Amino acid sequence: MDRLTDLWLYLAASPLLWLTLTLIVFMFALWLNRLAKGSPLLHPVLVSMAIIISILTLTGISYNQYFEGAQFVHFLLGPATVALAVPLYDHLAKVREIMALLLVTCVSGALVAAMSAAGVALLMGSMPETVMSIMPKSVTSPIAMGISEKIGGYPSLTAGLVLITGAIGCFVAPLVFRLMKIEDHRIRGFVLGVSAHGFGTALAFEISALAGAFAGLAIGMTGVASALVLPFVATLFR
């Protein structure tokens, strides 16, 4: 007990407490997701967010204090994204075969996702700032937050909407694939990457390495296309 007490006092006095808490919560969320047979409704990221937000709210800990430790995990987001280039390189020949089709799919998918969401938000009477926050919802979080800030949205709201979009995409996509009888892993992966970004890419890698490679490609292409196009599209909804 003395050793446990000493360990707790050491962690509580350093940012390692929040890093340790984040890892423990995520491991629990992974276990819960496996228990639910991989249900997107209990995605580990969403479950972890709900638990950590609840802990911070109950204890009165500020986000800045929590982020002192969690920033170490946040730092790994960049290398993890870059690492998606490895499986993509392994399947580069297959990418070249349909590159023109992928470009059309990426740009049209990004536009439809942004404009349909913005249109629904306007019909429901949302404020312009909320509409701008919703538009980049189908882009991976770091890029989506940058786009949201540039076009006049709320980056924090955009980050939450990105996660919700990813979870919904993972839930709906398998049903759409079965309904439309889509068996090609290239198409499955690219669709998941365009519509559900990081969440979809994780699901694509569960399908196959080929699907994961195309999902990783879709994340990058959609991010670039959205960053170039959405600032102009946003002027239509102001």
**DSSP characters over 93-108:** HHHHHTHHHHHHHHHH
184 found inside a domain? yes
Same domain for 95 and 159, yes or no, is yes
Same domain for 187 and 91, yes or no, is yes
Predicted pLDDT at 38: 73
Number of independent structural domains in the chain: 2
Same domain for 214 and 116, yes or no, is yes
> Domain range for residue 133?
84-236
| pLDDT less than 50: residues of the chain | none
Number of neighbours of residue 194 by Cβ within 10 angstroms = 29
78 found inside a domain? no
Same domain for 134 and 176, yes or no, is yes
211 found inside a domain? yes
Same domain for 4 and 115, yes or no, is no
69 found inside a domain? no
Same domain for 91 and 136, yes or no, is yes
Predicted pLDDT at 22: 86
Same domain for 144 and 45, yes or no, is no
What separation in angstroms does the CA of 138 have from each of 23, 47, 94, 99, 192? 26, 20, 25, 21, 10
Predicted pLDDT at 55: 87
Residues in the chain: 238
Same domain for 187 and 117, yes or no, is yes
Predicted pLDDT at 36: 83
184/199 Cα distance (integer angstroms): 19
67 found inside a domain? no
Same domain for 19 and 107, yes or no, is no
Pick the closest to residue 215 from 114, 105, 78 (CA basis): 105
35 found inside a domain? yes
101/99 Cα distance (integer angstroms): 5
204/211 Cα distance (integer angstroms): 5
What separation in angstroms does the CA of 102 have from each of 108, 148, 180? 10, 25, 19
154 found inside a domain? yes
54/137 Cα distance (integer angstroms): 24
Predicted pLDDT at 11: 57
Same domain for 97 and 199, yes or no, is yes
